[in-house]
Amino acid sequence: MAKTQFYKRVKGPMDNYEDWYYLETKPDGSQEVLHDWSHVTPSLKTNSGSKSYTVEDFLAAEDVRVDAKTALREHLA
């Protein structure tokens, strides 16, 4: 199983909002997109998690950043 980061987003006053996007290729050749995030507010409340998508669902999702979709398309080209 191969996992390659194709996009990373860091923002916030102390780089405290981070998102990572990976393309995972499974042994059977299928591919999946993984989005991991860690967001920490100035009051130190944390929101972190992970979500997986098929490549098709990721590219069609309305809740996915356009720049992350563009990065995936470039990675797949």
pLDDT of residue 8: 96
- Residue 74: inside a domain: no
The residue range of the domain holding 24 is 2-66
Note the pTM of the prediction, 2 decimals: 0.85
Tell me the per-residue pLDDT of 10-69, one tens digit each, with 9 for 90 and over: 987 776 789 999 999 999 999 999 999 998 877 778 888 999 999 999 999 998 999 999
Please report, for the domain that includes residue 21, its CATH number: 3.10.450
Q: How many domains does the chain have?
A: 1
Q: What is the DSSP letter of 26?
A: -
Q: How far is CA 74 from the centre of its chain?
A: 14
- Residue 23: inside a domain: yes
pLDDT of residue 7: 96
